[in-house]
Amino acid sequence: MLLIPAIDLKEGRCVRLKQGLMEEATVFSDLPAETALHWFKQGARRLHLVDLNGAFAGVPQNLPAIKDILAAVAKDIPVQLGGGIRDLKTIGQYLDLGLNDVIIGTAAVKNPDFVREACKAFPGRIIVGLDAKDGMAAIDGWATVTGHHVIDLAKRFEDDGVNSIIYTDIGRDGMMSGVNIDATVKLAQAVRIPVIASGGLTGLDDIRALCAAEKHGVAGAITGRAIYEGSIDFAQAQQLADSLD
């Protein structure tokens, strides 16, 4: 079970949101590259970046911070990023900078054919991000909840070559209320694509529950507020996950 620290970028700073609300941002660092190095030194084997401004604008908005992070750690561990990725040109530019994978979120819901095109153009480098509230997909930085159920959407991508799906429960993201294990497992059981859990990770009991769900196709978990506020010691949590494999 891979634990992946999240670095959410807003106006060049490392922040965490509550339930995706930009006005509910807590700033944790003005130096995202130092934050990335910190998590690498704590034993992180992958990093998850989100361009929050890009998610709302539809185009990259935090390139200087992203470049700094990649310069600091990309030679040592893979880095994935989502937020504002709407076309093949943007994907190519990001991969050229040194990102290992890009995450297609809003565009995957609005235009599923784009995912297929991206997978053909950049084999093995595409992750789909599905964010949900009460099981229904949300888009545009979570500002809009659609009428599409995440499981129905996920099934569309099974034969496209997507390397994984990140499933975020909006209602729990940043709320320190525990991972929605049931919904994550249901999604993982419904598709052949590995699922990465996101949203609500709070303590070591969540780690144990996620490890127990690994046999259903839950391959990892993204953690944010819990490791920044100290309710989870990242190094200890990854060691626990490794011991439970």
Catalytic (active-site) positions = 8, 131
Q: What is the CA radius of gyration of the chain?
A: 16
Helix (H) / strand (E) containing 150: helix 150-156
53-56 contacts at long range (C-beta below 8 A, 24 or more positions apart): 53/9, 53/10, 53/11, 53/83, 53/84, 54/83, 54/84, 54/85, 55/82, 55/83, 55/84, 55/105, 55/106, 55/140, 55/141, 56/22, 56/84, 56/140, 56/141, 56/143
Structure tokens at 230: 């100290």
Question: In angstroms, rounded to a whole number, what is the distance separating the alpha carbons of residues 240 and 174?
Answer: 22
Structure tokens at 214: 């690994």
- Residue 112: CB atoms within 10 A of its CB come to 15
